Amino acid sequence: MKNVPTEKIDEGALPAAENGAAVRPPDLAANMVHGFLRHILRSVENDAEPWQKQLALTPRGADFDLRDAGDGTTVLDKLAMTGDALGEAIARGDAPAEVGQGVLPHLAAPLAALSERREAAKTDGKQQLFLKRYAPILHRLDDDVSSIGRGMSDLSSVAARGAANLDPDASRRLLDRMRHIGDATMRLIEDRIASAGTRDEGKRLRALRDDLKTWIEDRNARLEHMQTAVDELNIRSNALRNASLMQAKRLAATAALARQTASSSGAVSPSGAGGQASPEAMVLSAVLRALLLESRADVTAPLRES
């Protein structure tokens, strides 16, 4: 058993190879996890460069508030609590508008106002004249709103697929399997020692057993060191999966609401294309923008260290 791991490895460094032997990758550690998170977050932020000013004004989303409250609660604690709370809300089937402190419930107000405007415009001659005069422009506005609904629906699908492909317990299962590597071999050696036919064979097997014991002790020490990183990965990936599932539900609900503001018959009407030129439509647009910004803040929260 000459291929016994070194007793100590500098974090982030590879052990030196001896006699051309294969170099063992570094063990998983918390600083390695944080390095991966920073790399992913930088990539995500680079992709959102055009919206950095708006995102800077949205320090938190509907669910995760990672600001320091001075109560000693760490970011990881907050991610664990919120991730579990989101999971419970999803399991109960809570309506997305009732979860968190987001802007989704505020979509109802401009939609109700648009509906009232539709009814009033039915008997308003000036409104009818306005609709006929600016029909092409209003149709284009209506098409834009329809595309918003389709875009929200596509984002919902992306979020749902991302959540489906994320398994928070994968790293823990892998660690559990690693805890038993070598145990079966140890039992086989012990059985062979008990039935050894010669003194030399027994001596050789006992030496092999002692080497394996040393390896298992080193294995246990390494896995104990890795446990912290694995626990953090579990918390973050659980929060990310549940946040993605909740965002999928919110975006799907928003897509349905956005489709209500567009004309369903293709004709210019105050409830459809005509409504897009109203003050209420501007409010609706602002709320939709805020919802997208807070969705982005929630999805990236599990990647943040502070």
Give the model's confidence band at 101: pLDDT under 50 very low, under 70 low, under 90 confident, else very high: confident
Are 243 and 83 within 8 A, CB to CB?
A: yes
Average pLDDT over residues 58-73: 81
Long-range contacts at 26-31 (CB < 8 A, ≥ 24 apart): 27/222, 27/225, 27/226, 28/171, 28/226, 28/229, 28/230, 29/225, 29/226, 29/228, 29/229, 30/228, 30/229, 30/232
- Contact partners, residue 41, CB within 8 Å, separation at least 6: 300, 303, 304
Q: Among 5-9, 20-24, 210-214, 281-285, name the most confident range.
A: 210-214
Task: Dump pLDDT digits (tens) for 18-39.
Answer: 555 567 778 888 888 889 889 9
CA 228 remoteness from chain centre: 20
Please determine, for residue 221, whether its predicted confidence score (pLDDT) is greater than 90.
Answer: yes
| Higher per-residue pLDDT: 252 or 110 | 252
Are 261 and 148 within 8 A, CB to CB?
A: no
Position 11 scores a pLDDT of: 41
Task: Dump pLDDT digits (tens) for 141-157.
Answer: 777 777 888 889 999 99
| Higher per-residue pLDDT: 12 or 159 | 159
Q: Report the distance separating Cα 305 and Cα 76, nearest Å.
A: 8
Please determine, for residue 265, whether its predicted confidence score (pLDDT) is greater than 60.
Answer: no
Give the model's confidence band at 277: pLDDT under 50 very low, under 70 low, under 90 confident, else very high: low
N residues, the chain: 306
Position 116 scores a pLDDT of: 72
Q: Report the distance separating Cα 284 and Cα 261, nearest Å.
A: 9
Are 63 and 99 within 8 A, CB to CB?
A: yes
Position 232 scores a pLDDT of: 94
